[in-house]
């Protein structure tokens, strides 16, 4: 067998192995979600575990297992604390809404709808008695719909159980990944062919640096927006301004969810607690400015510059990945763009060093 035939056979075998791996991953995708989530969380938490277990920094070395437990316990306490802040607030505001709904509808009829009629040219009025009659008169239609919803929820019990089990599995997988993180990374690095190890390890370090910069920049964006929303809502005399502002800021890294949650809570509080349109308009202005600040200033410049992307590239990446992969595309757009930027720099360097580019003929 000649060297050319051997190379072709090797390429064919590697291509077949890669195809088989992709097929296997596709077939196992339903059970890979907790492992993927745990891997991402372990990657984020590993620097803190390394810092706690650093022998040179402290006299007595803290066992890595203890450091892992401390980091995970701290994260669990943080999530629990946020839930204890948000859930009572949400339940309380919904309870107030149910008691003040007739007054809120009357307020809308007296203040908002006349403005709509005067400026938009059509008249609308909400009639609570008519709404009640409509619901009672169509109960025969509504009841089967509610029954179907209940049946669907019952049939989806297995899916709900699976989701709960996934959430329980994530911290277990995360613990073992953090415990043996460096050994796992070294083992996988050892599988890379020797002639590619230097280049691949160099690219992996560059990607790790870029992702670390991304996480730091995203944390800075979260702090800035949490401070902005808390201060702005407090200035507008919105009750629970600090809690709503913190929730909005902390959830901004999840596309749409952070903005929608904070905006919904603030608007709900403004409608229930105040009379008049001024608080509602204030909330609309505050969240409009905040969204523009995040989309066109903080994310393109703070995050984009940290990961080496032009602001236009950041905006394009968010739109492109969102178009291709929807919600998760927007969520992962910036870290994936950063990884592609590192790969592009390597491709560009190889192209500039190639004979094809340098040949002048």
Q: Would you say 224 and 231 are in contact if contact means Cβ atoms under 8 Å apart?
A: no
Tokens coding 182: 């460096």
Spacing of C-alpha 255 from chain mean position: 6
Please give the Cα distance from 242 to 220 (Å, whole number): 18
Tokens coding 205: 């370090």
Which candidate, 261, 271, 259, 253, places its Cα nearest to that of 100?
A: 271
* pLDDT for the residue numbered 329: 77
**Residue 232: pLDDT above 90?**
yes
Chain mean pLDDT for the chain: 78
* pLDDT for the residue numbered 22: 80
pLDDT band at residue 183 under the 50/70/90 scheme: very high
* Distance, first Cα to last Cα, the chain: 37
Please give the Cα distance from 289 to 143 (Å, whole number): 43
Please give the Cα distance from 320 to 330 (Å, whole number): 8
Domain range summary for the chain, segments of one domain joined by +: 194-361
Please give the Cα distance from 273 to 96 (Å, whole number): 9
pLDDT band at residue 177 under the 50/70/90 scheme: very high
pLDDT in tens, 117-134: 766 666 666 565 655 555
Q: Would you say 331 and 254 are in contact if contact means Cβ atoms under 8 Å apart?
A: yes
Q: What percent of the chain has pLDDT over 70?
A: 74
């Amino acid at each position: 067998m000649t060297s050319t035939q051997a190379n072709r056979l090797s390429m064919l075998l590697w291509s077949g192995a890669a195809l088989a791996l992709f097929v296997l991953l596709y077939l196992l995708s339903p059970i890979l979600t907790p492992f993927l989530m745990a891997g991402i969380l372990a990657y984020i938490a590993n620097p803190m575990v390394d810092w706690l277990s650093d022998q040179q920094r402290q006299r007595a070395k803290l066992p890595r297992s203890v450091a892992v437990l401390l980091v995970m316990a701290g994260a669990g306490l943080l999530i629990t604390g946020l839930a204890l802040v948000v859930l009572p607030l949400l339940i309380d505001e919904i309870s107030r809404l149910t008691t003040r709904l007739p007054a809120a509808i009357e307020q809308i009829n007296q203040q908002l709808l006349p403005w709509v009629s005067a400026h938009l040219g059509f008249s609308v009025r909400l009639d609570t008695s008519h709404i009640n009659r409509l619901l009672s008169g169509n109960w025969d239609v509504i009841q089967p719909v509610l029954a179907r919803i209940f049946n669907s929820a019952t049939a989806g019990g297995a899916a709900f159980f699976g989701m709960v089990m996934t959430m329980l599995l994530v911290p277990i997988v995360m613990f073992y990944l953090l415990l043996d993180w460096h050994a796992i990374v070294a083992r996988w690095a050892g599988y890379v062919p020797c002639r590619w190890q230097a280049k691949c390890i160099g690219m992996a370090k560059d990607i790790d640096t870029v992702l670390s910069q991304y996480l730091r920049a995203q944390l800075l964006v979260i702090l800035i927006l949490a401070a902005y929303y808390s201060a702005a809502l407090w200035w507008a005399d919105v009750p629970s301004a600090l809690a709503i502002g913190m929730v909005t800021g902390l959830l901004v890294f999840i596309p749409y969810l952070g903005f929608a949650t904070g905006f919904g809570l603030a608007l709900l509080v403004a409608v229930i607690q105040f009379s008049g349109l001024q608080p509602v308009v204030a909330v609309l202005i505050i969240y409009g400015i905040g969204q523009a600040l995040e989309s066109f200033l903080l994310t393109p410049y703070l995050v984009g510059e940290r990961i080496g992307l032009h602001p236009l590239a950041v905006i394009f990446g968010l739109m492109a990945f969102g178009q291709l992969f929807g919600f998760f595309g927007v969520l992962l757009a910036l870290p994936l763009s950063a990884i592609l930027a590192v790969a592009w720099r390597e491709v560009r360097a190889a192209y500039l060093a190639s004979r094809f580019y340098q040949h002048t003929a």
